[in-house]
Structure 1
């Protein structure tokens, strides 16, 4: 190989390295931040607030979540499990009228179990499960965070007043949005024969009992 050809190859390799470095820096700059903000939505703002407005730290955390969980593919739910989950959620909503704390605790358990069945980390690893859910269900993952926190408060034996009951109601409503996201059929689910619905639904969503809309749940 002639000296001229060797020099030409070195120049080409150097140019490729420079271009790759430029692309990497560009991805880490404003464009990368915009992509993360678009992907995570409200979760981006929550993470930014938790890092006291440090955008680099927040984006580093969110990028790490994507690297760990971005390749996860949600698994289909077995028809029997789907029916069980739907029945338990409906029962929890109805139970909220007389026993809101127990209903919130059940909602927390249900989200953990449905997520695990869908292929997310097991609920025993709450923080990791939450992180994975934030990558794929960023718009509603706060519902899990909220209901989990309220359930832990209830488990601690703290007595609540009307304001506490209202917070539990809000947590249940937010949790329902994530529950419906997780229950939405995947491509694999759609390949299975559809079964008749067993529960009252409106526009494809489980209808909330009247107490959620009238704020008339009793304390527990």
Structure 2
């Protein structure tokens, strides 16, 4: 089988894995993938996952790749907060939340980090359209905030939360406080409730 046959079959998926290849061609020789990576015809994303170098310059491709190579997961934490303009920092690493164990991956598309959360807390995400025909899972602003406060124990004082430098205009005009409180109750965590109360107090939202 030629590389171009594989490309024609999987290019539109952006990312594909070895199992998909075997389902298509059961007698496929896996060594072909290694050879095509060495020839820069393919990009290896992690064990068994591949993409095409043509996509490297696609805007926001990291968010789509993040969803695909470690599932179930959704983009959250610092990446989502930066996307919504809640924090000022430019985020180099793509951060996500998953019900699987913590993981980190590096490839030519970037650095990908996954924090573990209980399966019952995998809510508060929505599908966003990507390149007009794909979708990816992304935390809502409120859930991204809660994931951060829940998963990073250092944010346990008023000063630490102030130093997050959440955008005041967003907090006053765009944050859905009702959703934030509803989501907080689902965590059933007094520690998180206290942190959220501090956040609301700092921004005069309670």
Name whichever structure is richer in helix by fraction: 1
Q: Which has the higher relative contact order, 1 or 2, with Cα contacts under 8 A spaced 6 or more apart?
A: 1
TM-score normalized with structure 1 length: 0.26
Which of the pair has more CA radius of gyration? 1
